[in-house]
């Protein structure tokens, strides 16, 4: 779930022994293309619910709430089982999720958004917009994101991608973690390291494999 390496790339560049997994071959290719150091990272194309890479790690992390893209809770449990199978006992698993109540409120208040980003050479602009439906009671969110490349008034290209993620509740993720052998060591509410509270934007969960 390393995507194109927003977190992984700086670690690779700093010389850490890094392995990334994602089921998108295209994103892994973009990650590889960005690596400028001599040490190429091990990037594995595979599904987080059923990967086997034949070694154990002393830290595994999932950034940018990517576990929310695994919509079904049984599938999330499967991801955590696989992570436990690849961690040394006592090692850390750190991941971020959106705080569901805060995020649902923000979606209801602003279900759509738009940004226009100029190309570095100034010749074109990327227009990005999204529309989200009101979250279902179980925390599932669907919507659409749209991209258009503009040259003045002319649209040169247009893409549309579906959005589908799941805002899992705090109790549910705590249960899945306990069932799969993890103990929560720290629960942060934001990237400044502040403790979690009901209005925090995130749930950043730092846990240890207790088995």
Ligand X SMILES: C[S@@+](CC[C@H](N)C(=O)[O-])C[C@H]1O[C@@H](n2cnc3c(N)ncnc32)[C@H](O)[C@@H]1O
Q: Which is nearer to ligand X, 90 or 113 (by Cβ)? A: 113
The distance of closest approach from Cβ of residue 82 to ligand X in the complex, given in angstroms and rounded to an integer, is 10
The distance of closest approach from Cβ of residue 123 to ligand X in the complex, given in angstroms and rounded to an integer, is 26
The rounded distance, in Å, linking the Cα atoms of 85 and 211 is: 10
Using a 10 angstrom Cβ sphere, with 0-12 exposed, 13-18 middle and 19 or more buried, the burial of residue 8 is buried
Q: Is the Cβ–Cβ distance between 39 and 62 less than 8 Å? A: no
Q: Which is nearer to ligand X, 26 or 183 (by Cβ)? A: 26
The distance of closest approach from Cβ of residue 5 to ligand X in the complex, given in angstroms and rounded to an integer, is 6
The rounded distance, in Å, linking the Cα atoms of 11 and 70 is: 25
Using the rule CB under 6 A, is 3 a contact of ligand X? yes
Q: Which is nearer to ligand X, 3 or 111 (by Cβ)? A: 3
Q: What is the DSSP letter of 99?
A: -
The distance of closest approach from Cβ of residue 44 to ligand X in the complex, given in angstroms and rounded to an integer, is 9
Q: Which residue number has the CB closest to ligand X? A: 3
Binds ligand X by CB under 6 A, chosen from 12, 18, 41, 48 = 48
191 three-state secondary structure: coil
Q: What is the DSSP letter of 210?
A: -
Closest residue by Cα to residue 171 from 106, 83, 111, 100: 100
Binds ligand X by CB under 6 A, chosen from 11, 19, 24, 184 = 24
The tokens of 35 are what? Answer: 């690596």
Q: Which is nearer to ligand X, 71 or 149 (by Cβ)? A: 71
Using the rule CB under 6 A, is 111 a contact of ligand X? no
Using the rule CB under 6 A, is 7 a contact of ligand X? yes
Instruction: Output Rg (C-alpha) for the chain, integer angstroms.
Output: 19
The distance of closest approach from Cβ of residue 154 to ligand X in the complex, given in angstroms and rounded to an integer, is 30
Q: Which is nearer to ligand X, 6 or 39 (by Cβ)? A: 6
The distance of closest approach from Cβ of residue 151 to ligand X in the complex, given in angstroms and rounded to an integer, is 28
Q: Is the Cβ–Cβ distance between 202 and 96 less than 8 Å? A: yes
Closest residue by Cα to residue 57 from 10, 105, 15, 92: 92
Footprint of ligand X on residues 50-79 (CB under 6 A)?
63-64, 66, 69-70
């Amino acid at each position: 779930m390393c995507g194109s390496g927003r977190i992984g790339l700086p670690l690779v560049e700093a010389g850490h022994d890094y392995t990334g997994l994602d089921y998108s071959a295209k994103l892994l290719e973009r990650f590889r293309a960005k690596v400028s150091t001599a040490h190429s990272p091990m990037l594995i194309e595979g599904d987080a619910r059923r990967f086997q890479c034949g070694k154990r790690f002393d830290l595994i992390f999932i950034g940018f709430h990517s576990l929310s893209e695994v919509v079904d809770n049984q599938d999330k449990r499967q991801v955590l089982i696989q992570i436990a199978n690849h961690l040394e006992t006592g090692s850390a698993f750190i991941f971020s999720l959106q705080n569901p109540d805060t995020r649902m409120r923000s979606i209801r208040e602003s279900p759509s958004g738009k940004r226009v980003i100029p190309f570095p050479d100034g010749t074109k602009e990327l227009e990005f917009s999204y529309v989200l439906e009101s979250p279902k009671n179980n925390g599932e969110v669907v919507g659409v994101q749209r991209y258009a490349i503009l040259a003045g008034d002319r649209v040169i290209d247009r893409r549309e991608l579906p959005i589908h993620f799941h805002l899992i509740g705090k109790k549910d993720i705590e249960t899945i973690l306990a069932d799969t052998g993890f103990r929560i060591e720290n629960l942060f509410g934001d990237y400044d390291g502040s403790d979690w509270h009901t209005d925090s934007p995130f749930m950043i969960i730092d846990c240890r494999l207790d088995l």
